[in-house]
Structure 1
Amino acid sequence: MPSVEAFTASDSTPVASRLHWRSSQSLLFRLILGVAGGLILDLAFPAVGWWPCAIIGTALIIAALDGQTVWRSILIGFTASLVFYLVHIYWATLYLGPIPWVALSLSQALIFAAIAAGWSVSIRLLHRQFSGIAGRFVAYPLIVASWWLVRETVASSWPYGGFSWARLSFSQSEGWFAPTLSWWGAPGLSFAIAALAALVYQWAKSLCTHMILQRKAGTQDGSTRERPTPRRQLTIRICAIGWMTVIVAMMLVPVFPQRSEGMLRVAAVQGAGPAGYFSERERGDLLAAQLAATAEHVPEQVDLVIWPEDGTDIDPLRDESTRKIFTDLTDSLQAPVTFGTITHRDGKYYNSSLLWPVGAQQPSAIYDKLHPVPFGEYVPHREFYSRIVPDLIGMVGRHYEFGQRSPVMAVGDGATIGVAICFDIAYDDVAQRIVRDGGQLIVAQSNNGDFGRTDESAQQLAMARVRAIETGRDLVNISTVGISAIIRADGSTAAELPWYEPGAMIQDIHLSTTVTPAMTVGPAIIWLSIVVAFGSVVVLGIRQRRITSSSREL
């Protein structure tokens, strides 16, 4: 650990201001630092999953942006973000080629660049007015983390409903800090990781400056410089103890206790049928694959059978023979079945999940996907984009509507399930609504057939694990082709199926109506971050004008 002088060196002498990261003033150096941060940050996410890289990579991006002008920050933020997303979502190229991959990466990079502009203003004002210990080790991490969470919030909601992917918290589903998800949610953990990264950067910066000053002074103990005052030493120790307390608490805090209110024995069936958009198949092949896997791998009585998104490629609401198949299937299993399919109702298409009771002629509940994927399940401004990439837009033949129904379904005997379809699992509002509407377990149905054996499925499973911990509910993540898993409320894996292998996971699932603190604290942290980020620009800007005016008067 550096000495007390190390944390005061950068503002204790005129020499320090001249030496202040002199070697890092080159724009090229900052760009390289940002690119390195983006590449390292990707390693924190599945399939690599080295979760500490989230802190290291974010710290490097913060270092690249620190103290830069607005335009430099825009360029650095854009470059770092673009490199990160080009690597992180490379799976988008598997079947669709480079255009969607590059377009999505560019959109995310532009959002980061815009946020970096506000970030730059806040931090430059902070450096001018509060360059001491409290400014660097308290205000700085909080403001940086606030801007980072603002960036995640904007990207998760805009444009066209947003792309809620690659949030810092999603890299921590199996890390030391994962239990904190039940206390402050995905937003809170993202904020904490960004704050820790800013703290790591400030510590490294102070240490490097201290070493430079020692070499400049020609001494190893810094005895030629003025020692910090007792008050400054006290401030340093308070900051150190405070942050160490936070870090230790994040490592030791247990998952918020789940209150079990019964058990439900479920069978989650992965049919491993030809589920990709470009897969060669005949009408009914997906349904046949699910039926075959169910017949072979569900030999015992269960309370609920769960199929994935696109569990049937024929809509039983419009096809009499398929309707009879589900009537007979539930009758033979003596258990209801929930499955995904494309429904057409009132002249509109929906990506839906249906719950089919035992021996029934119709579903007892329907949930329509709340967040259809833009340019995948619908095309906003179709005429405009058709002029740019007509071949790609032409592939999206249907326009799926945004769901309006509750994701919670009653499966009998007082048990309820909350459904999330595919990318729904990435959005906070879906998890919030499942809990608010009384869902006792989460069923995450997905079709990962378009992404093969890429990182996409593993990344999505990590998000599902985050939701299980955050909501305090067991979660069944069932895919057409994998990776499928049953995750407990504490984040542990109860069962798992590998890619492209038919099978079933049969487990007793805890039912719970526990409302974790995360359901309240998470949204509050988002709003507080918005207030801190934009408020820092306003407050520090006003204060700087007053300082400037006072200086002119003198």
Structure 2
Amino acid sequence: MSAGAGAPAGAGEPAVGTLPRPNPPTTWAARPAARSRWPWRTLLAVAGGLVLVLAFPGYDLVGLAVLGPAALALAVHGQRLRSGLWLGLAFGLAFFVPLLSWTGIYVGSFPWLALAGWEAVHLALLGGATALTSRLRLWPVWTAALWVADEALRGRFVLDGFPWGRLGFSQTEGPLLALAAYGGVPLVTFAVALVGALLAAAVLALLRARREAGTTALQVPAASLRAVGGSVVLLLAVPLVGMLAWLPLPGSSLTAGGPASTVAVIQGDVPRAGLDFNAQRRAVLDNHVQRTLELAEAVAAGKEPQPDVVVWPENSSDIDPYTNADAARQIDRAASAVSAPILVGAVVEGPGENLSNTAIVWDPEEGPGDTYVKRHPVPLAEYVPARDFFRFFSDKVDLVRRDFIAGDEVGVLDIGGTRLGDLICFEVVYDGLVHDVVDDGAGMIVVQTNNATFGYTDESAQQLAMSRLRAVEFGRTVVVAATSGISAIVAPDGSITESSQLFTPDVFVEDIAQRSSATVAQRIGAAPEWALTAVGAGALVVALGLRRRAAR
């Protein structure tokens, strides 16, 4: 059922929602002409990937996100599998190479380009699948579902996946963000991709209408006009649904919806950015102790309210306070001064030769108590699987001298009368880990992170965007505590009420409601992702079956 590889977008296209007749096989004589049209399709795919980057933090042109899926859909429409794979790869490289540039800021270009290339391979698969399904009826729906399926795959395989750059994470504001409360990131991704695919369908229908007008003395057939109008109406309907979806959701108030706790966030900063940010580990600890002592003075002077809980970031103590008495004394000093328990991000020795990325509840009277060990250490950053294999490509893997081990308990901690769900750094990108802490009764979400290793890049802003979507998804306030920035407090509607700057010490204190309500997204969990993945996979199976039948 696929068209010849050289058919231009819109050439011989049916009205949206109809199934075209099979094109005759492309002859050998026609193949050079077909290949000659690849450059403009490739340029369109590359342009789509670059435009999609602009929708993410660093540029924040959220509305441009739909143009990425639209460009890819136009580029691969009516193409063969091989062409779709190539065009998807071109799109993926144009998107991921700039988006993930922060990964190579201190370790060189090879790890950065290798990761971007691996992520782009997934979009190559998406391009091929989109090309195969582009001649089915209702193809914009199948295109959007395939985006969800592709992200589901990318977020789970290999080494537990790396779901950075999902379409849904581009929506930090606007009508489509509201859909996170009903279906999480997958539903937002589906909506963005659907609007893009419908935009592509409208362009193709308009091109066909113009072509038919030119062959019928400017009298455009009614079917073509209906196709254009139908695509535009559906395109506008998706954001309209998103606007209506906001109506029952929580607003920007931090204190509505439950009993409030006073939460203080400490950003102590680091001596310098880079991989050796913790070369002066005691200085990092001292920075956070000093900021906490200053907060205690402000509380005593009546300038700040007495906090119920103080949140320090990941790596705020890279000296194990269980084995180093001096580090323990400094944390005790800070907790006693502020008269509140501190959630300390620490590197803890063990078990065995390993390390643990651990959050410790440090009480001013009883000292260290409950802990949470990071459940998803980052491969090649916190542990190195198959070290000899990866060393062949880069000796930077040996910067990870000792592997961090994964924890096995959900990060819900009772601290200062507050039941919070703790996530450490990149854990916020994984749907299941966030869902677990809310399911376990967290009244608010805390993200402890350290972004000093990425310097003055967009990484911290991109990660903060994920927290904004999580706030809407679960109807919870999200507190982000970063070692060197960006720390923030995100309201349940995804708006930012407090934020810090990169590599600048900061402290802020807010009253935050401990919410117990459940959004639709929390209740149904991963069901939207699996359902949409099944829809996309089903459309692909149908397209493959029709293709084989046409070949026979």
Structure-2 separation of matches of 1:211 and 1:24: 25
Letter in 2 for 1:260: G
Structure 2 counterpart SS, 1:96: coil
Q: 2:342 aligns with which of 337, 342, 347?
A: 337
The equivalent of 1:279 in structure 2 is 277
The equivalent of 1:131 in structure 2 is none
The equivalent of 1:355 in structure 2 is 361
Structure-1 separation of matches of 2:20 and 2:450: 61
Q: 2:309 aligns with which of 296, 304, 308?
A: 304
Q: For structure 2, list consecutive stretches of 5 or more residues without a partner in the other structure.
A: 1-12, 25-32, 251-255, 300-305
8 Å contact from structure 2 (residues 309, 340) kept in 1 = yes
Question: Number of residue pairs matched?
Answer: 518
The equivalent of 1:129 in structure 2 is none
The equivalent of 1:185 in structure 2 is 184
Structure-1 separation of matches of 2:544 and 2:246: 41
8 Å contact from structure 1 (residues 7, 207) kept in 2 = no
Q: Does residue 1:505 correspond to 2:512, yes or no?
A: no
Q: Does residue 1:475 correspond to 2:478, yes or no?
A: yes
Shift of 1:416: 0.3
Q: 1:252 aligns with which of 244, 247, 259?
A: 244
Structure-2 separation of matches of 1:13 and 1:360: 73
Letter in 2 for 1:511: Q
Cα 1:544/1:312, change in 2 over 3 Å: closer
Q: Does residue 1:370 correspond to 2:367, yes or no?
A: no
The equivalent of 1:41 in structure 2 is 52
Structure-1 separation of matches of 2:551 and 2:274: 62
Structure-2 separation of matches of 1:38 and 1:68: 19
The equivalent of 1:429 in structure 2 is 432
Cα 1:294/1:328, change in 2 over 3 Å: closer
Cα 1:326/1:256, change in 2 over 3 Å: farther
The equivalent of 1:395 in structure 2 is 399
The equivalent of 1:148 in structure 2 is 147
8 Å contact from structure 2 (residues 292, 334) kept in 1 = no
Shift of 1:261: 2.0
Structure-2 separation of matches of 1:159 and 1:23: 35
8 Å contact from structure 2 (residues 133, 139) kept in 1 = no
Shift of 1:173: 1.1
Cα 1:9/1:485, change in 2 over 3 Å: closer
8 Å contact from structure 1 (residues 55, 194) kept in 2 = yes
Structure 2 counterpart SS, 1:498: coil
Shift of 1:535: 1.4
RMSD of aligned alpha carbons: 2.8
8 Å contact from structure 1 (residues 477, 486) kept in 2 = yes
Structure 1 counterpart SS, 2:344: strand
8 Å contact from structure 1 (residues 478, 484) kept in 2 = yes
The equivalent of 2:62 in structure 1 is 51
Shift of 1:273: 1.7
Structure-2 separation of matches of 1:168 and 1:256: 24
Q: 2:74 aligns with which of 63, 68, 71?
A: 63
What's the TM-score, normalizing by structure 1?
0.87
Structure 1 counterpart SS, 2:115: helix
Q: Deviations over 1:467-495 (max 9, x none)?
A: 11111100111111111110111112221
Q: For structure 1, list consecutive stretches of 5 or more residues without a partner in the other structure.
A: 1-5, 127-134, 550-554
Q: Deviations over 1:323-376 (max 9, x none)?
A: 2322332222110000211112321311111111222232x2211112211111
8 Å contact from structure 2 (residues 266, 507) kept in 1 = yes
What's the TM-score, normalizing by structure 2?
0.87
Q: 1:292 aligns with which of 290, 293, 297?
A: 290
Cα 1:283/1:109, change in 2 over 3 Å: closer
Structure-2 separation of matches of 1:522 and 1:244: 28
Structure-2 separation of matches of 1:256 and 1:316: 46
Structure-1 separation of matches of 2:406 and 2:16: 56
8 Å contact from structure 2 (residues 471, 490) kept in 1 = yes
Q: Deviations over 1:369-392 (max 9, x none)?
A: 122111111111112112232x21
Letter in 2 for 1:306: V
Cα 1:329/1:13, change in 2 over 3 Å: closer
Cα 1:480/1:283, change in 2 over 3 Å: closer
8 Å contact from structure 2 (residues 270, 278) kept in 1 = no
The equivalent of 2:7 in structure 1 is none
Cα 1:245/1:53, change in 2 over 3 Å: closer
Shift of 1:35: 0.2
